[in-house]
Amino acid sequence: MPDDELHYRQLTDISGLIQSRQISSVDTTTAQLDRIGRLDGRLRSYATLMAEQALATATTADEEIAAGRMRGPLHGVPIAVKDLCWTTDAPTAAGMPIYRENRPREDGTVVRKLREAGAVILGKLQLTEGAYADHHPDVPPPVNPWNADHWSGASSSGSGVATAAGLCYGSLGTDTGGSIRFPSAANGCTGLKPTWGRVSRHGCFELAATLDHIGPMTRSAADAGAMLSVIAGADPKDPTASSEPVPNYLAGMKRGIRRLRIGIDRAWCARVDAPTAAMLDDALDAIADFGADIRDISFPDTEQLVQDWFVLCGIEAAVAHDATYPSREGEYGSGLKGLLDLGRAQSALDYQRIVLRRVAFTGQVKALFEEIDLLVVPTTAMASPTTATMATLGEDAELISGLLRYTCPFDLSGNPTITLPAGFTDSGTPLAFQFVAPHFAEDMLVRAGWAYQQATDWHRRHPEL
């Protein structure tokens, strides 16, 4: 089967073809590596390519599958991971030149689980410096495959670009303030931010410990469920990883969302630009057509939360970088440096006030989910911003507020979300919205995402490269 029929297929489709031996993992991996070689010079999604290791893993997968030893839905499937996940056989730089030669002594837990599942890891994907807002001045940012003038998202920009451009069948991203959701929306991917603690953080470079989430970025809700089923679960190396049982996220996926109570705060969600508002209206119409019960709700005010998020992220990041900042300050870019200085300037009283507001907000969100099953919100307030617009982020308080208003609250509360492609701008760049669920209800997110994607084809559209 020729490459042009394969590279945009969904992960679950490729898995079926490989495991039924209609195609081989080696041929699929070779085709992916060839495509990366042709296209990634200008897209810049990969920080490190692991071609030799990938082909060795693919060879083993083909041998195991031929012998009837199946490891699950990722067996033999080429994927990639964000370059803050530790790997023993490739550097882990976290977007930071000071870690360019960093070779961890063990794989991160998510990497280990992917390897145990038989996944073929093609390489490490580029990210912003330390997984914060900006790429280091010495690291060229990944390029949006739909339109090079538009933002590719942060910080999991490489994960979004590679997945959208057909340079892997799925990827891992991380989300501290929106960095699974931003690049998923910007590049037209389906991104699932799990509940905080659903996925172990051991062996992943830290930005802010109590805000960091690790999750899949894929082409469909089914693919996201397949990847989450592999990486989720308890981990003795991470005491914050939940022991909550991991369900089969695909088992009840096709039940639909009829009679599910779907909440929306129309006043809060109206604080968006015209393309985003029109996209959200269309999505709500589709959701209602599925038989869901759309309910008007009132969401807690988020303006203070956005300010609190910056300070809390800065405090936690300052702890994470204590070994190298400020001792190696000159090797840091201005964006991450500013965050660390903000965190180091706070008092214990400042921190405690934020903690109390965060606990209160988390309780309010939990109470809200006693009235509804899922929440619908935009991903950002602005449709597919340009790179020129994003370059002014630090100068525009309203732009910052609009960017984070619908994302960082759910990092603070730890609620899971799924971001779904839902249309295009006049410039031909993707639009997206989110479903938000109660803690550990990722199965409901996969179910709702699957229902929406059966009735729409936005997730099946791909950039012309």
- Look at the block and give the residue holding tokens 């993707």: 430
Catalytic residue numbers, as ranges? 82, 155, 179
The length of the chain, given as a count of residues: 465
Rounded Cα gap, residues 9 and 18, in angstroms: 12
> Rounded CA gap, 88 and 111, in Å?
10
Single-letter amino acid, residue 168: C
Q: Please give the radius of gyration of the chain, using alpha carbons only, rounded to the nearest integer.
A: 20
Instruction: Determine the 3-state secondary structure of 216 from DSSP.
Output: strand
The CA angle 380-384-390, to the nearest 5 degrees, is: 85
Q: Cα angle at 324 between 396 and 95, to 5 degrees? A: 55
Q: What's the DSSP call for residue 204? A: B
Q: CA 462, CA 164: separation in Å to the nearest integer?
A: 7
Between CA 298 and CA 309, with CA 303 as vertex, the angle to 5 degrees is 115
- CA proximity to 249, closest of 442, 416, 118, 10: 442
Segment holding 420, helix H or strand E: strand 417-424
Whether 368 contacts 133, CB under 8 Å = no
C-alpha 382/C-alpha 65 separation (Å) is 46
Q: Helix (H, G, I), strand (E, B), or coil: what is residue 215?
A: strand
Yes or no: say if 176 and 411 are a contact pair by the CB < 8 Å rule: yes
Q: Write the burial class of residue 174 (CB in 10 Å: 0-12 exposed, 13-18 middle, 19+ buried).
A: buried
Q: Is the peptide bond before 409 cis (omega within 30 degrees of 0)?
A: no
Three-state secondary-structure class, residue 432: strand
| 8 Å CB contact between 361 and 165 | no
Residue 455 exposure: Cα atoms within 13 Å on the Cβ side: 20
* Nearest residue to 273 via CA among 143, 393, 431, 458: 431
